[in-house]
Amino acid sequence: MEKFQRLIRNKWFKLGVSLFGLLYTWFLCYACYMVFFYDISYSNRVMFAVLYVIFTVFTGFIIYYTRKSPITRILSLVNVVLLLPILLLDWGNLPLIIPAALICFFGFFTSGINPTAKTVWGTIFLLLYIVGSVIFYFVWYVFRTTTEDTIIGTETSPSGNFSYYILDIKNNSTGKLDVYMIPTSLNDTAFGCIELDTTLKKRVKQAVKPATADCEWIDGNLYINGELYFSEAKYYQDDEYILDDGTWTYTYFEIEYPINTLIEQVTDIAGKAVDKLKESTAETSAADTSAETSAAETSADETAADDEPV
């Protein structure tokens, strides 16, 4: 028993155990990669929850046990930075975000970093999160065009390597019809319970409404309204994708970004509340004006009645 106690108190043993903390840092790096290049969904939420809880509890134990290790101290700082892009780009994905946030901040506040240094780093991270969020949403609101997008048609090619989808875009003008191509074979799975749908796409046609987009696959070629717009042979050869011609782009965040929707909902509710307040104020003001007018008319009638000769 004494040997075991000496072993777990040994600083070199703790240093070796702290290396397991690299697993969570690797996971956060992989999560950043996933939220940048894929749409994340869950094929088995229960399995993901069980695995993630076990992994989180294990990591929390490792972090607390090795909190004074220099490796854990460094990782506790790195993890907080890695959490920021996950928060910004995948805010609505609570099953992924909540455990990650708990571990990152638990690791930072329990680490053996000098209190003064911890205060300095905490201030830096707070500013990083605030400034990063402000810049992100400023760019989001300034450079995005508000549209209402609806997928009205989609079909996979006979080979299964590509799929197209038709996007009906409603904007402040007449609207548009866009046809996009996606390489479906790039979709992936992670940990046996996470579905990763690629956001890589290529716009093959755009038309201002009123317009039609009658799409048809014929021998690996996509015809739109009878004209050839896309050929698989150009972008898929020898069982490999060739997507480096500069026309394929990633969608890093969608119009339906959850936190943006939340902000719009709150703004809409606040706007309606302000409108109701203005209406109420206007009605009250009108009622007061009407009452004053009625009182003035009554007073004038009484004065006229007093002035009439008896």
Report pLDDT for 256.
Answer: 43
Is residue 310 scored above 50 in pLDDT?
A: no
| DSSP 8-state assignment for residue 223 | E
The pTM (predicted TM-score) of the whole model is 0.70
The predicted model gives 165-172 an average pLDDT of 83
The predicted model gives 197-205 an average pLDDT of 85
**pLDDT one-digit tens code per residue, 203-245:** 888 888 888 888 899 888 999 888 898 888 888 888 888 887 7
Is the model more confident about 67 or about 292? Answer: 67
* Segments making up each domain of the chain, as ranges: 2-143, 148-250
Query: Positive or negative, the Cα torsion across 196, 200, 204, 207?
Result: positive
Q: What is the DSSP string of 193-218?
A: TEEEEE-EEEEEEEEESS----EEEE
| 308, amino acid identity | E
CB 95: neighbour CB atoms within 10 A?
A: 14
The predicted model gives 304-308 an average pLDDT of 53
